[in-house]
Amino acid sequence: MPRLVFLGPAREAAGTRHDVIDADTVAAVLDEAKVRYGRAFEEIVAVSQIWVNGEVVSFDTPVGPYDEIAVLPPVSGG
C-alpha cells in the first residue's frame, strides 16, 4: 500500500508521522487521510505541496504499493 509521510504541522495535525492507505491515486489516498485525521489535517493539506518519491505531483497522479507520498506544508527552514 502507498506509504504516507507527514511532516511539520502536517505531522502534528495527523498525530502521526507515517501511515499506509490503500488507494490508487494521490487524491484518493488524501481523501481517506482527511477522514482519518479530521478538519485540522484537511486545512493543512489545502495549503501543502504533495510529493511522491521526492517529486512534486498533482492530485490525479496514480500511486502504487511502493510509493511514498509526503505532505509538505509551507516551509520555514534556515
Partner 1 sequence: MASIPPLDWISVAPSELSVGELIAWATRADCGAIVAFSGTVRDSSGSHDEIEALEYETSEELAERSIREIVGVARRRWPALGAVAVHHKTGRVALTETAVVVVVSSPHRQEAFAAAQFCIDTLKESVPMWKRDVWSGGSEWSSDTRDIIKVREG
Pairing mode, strands 68-72 and 3-6? parallel
Contact 51, 69 (CB under 8 A): yes
Binding-site member from 7, 23, 27, 28 for partner 1 (CB under 8 A): 7
**Max CA separation in the chain (angstroms):** 35
Binding mask 19-58 for partner 1 (x = CB under 8 A): ----------------------------x-x-x--x-x--
Give the integer Cα–Cα distance in Å for 15 and 24: 24
Binding range to partner 1, per CB under 8 A, among 19-27, 31-39, 59-67, 68-76: 68-76
- Binding positions for partner 1, rule: CB under 8 A: 5, 7-9, 11-12, 47, 49, 51, 54, 56, 70, 72-78
